[in-house]
Amino acid sequence: MSETKKSIHILKGILIYLAGFITAIILGVIIALTGGDFSKTKSIHGLTIFQEQGNPINETQFRVIQVIESNLALAVGKGSETSVFTGITVLLMRDEGKYFYDDEVIELSSKPNQSGLYQYESKSGKKTVPVISVK
């Protein structure tokens, strides 16, 4: 290999190294600007959150029937005139780091407002339920 070809080969290696280094710096800046927490931006298929509060829900007590994710759960409401949970089905949503478990009973201090919609497939077809934020 001639001296010129060796120089070109070394120069190509240096340029490839620099391109990788610059790419790593750019990626680091992007991660730093987004806070590095991509779990907050993760979207749940079928979940739509409203900009403003929606309609009021007339029930204040709910029983979790299925945990979708640790902070998302399908629940059935209990009407004030009954002792069983046969009311409206809703998706309960908590802040990250707070968890639901099966058959948990959630009692709210006041009637909640709908904060979104959740669509999912069940054995009987497509279902759409209101979303309630639980503190």
The rounded distance, in Å, linking the Cα atoms of 41 and 32 is 15
pLDDT digits (tens, 9 = 90+) for 46-103: 898 888 888 889 899 999 999 999 899 999 999 777 778 888 999 999 987 889 999 9
25-45: b (≥16 Cβ within 10 Å) or e:
eeeeeeeeeeeeeeeeeeeee
pTM given for the model = 0.65
Q: Domain boundaries in the chain?
A: 3-41, 47-133
The rounded distance, in Å, linking the Cα atoms of 49 and 54 is 10
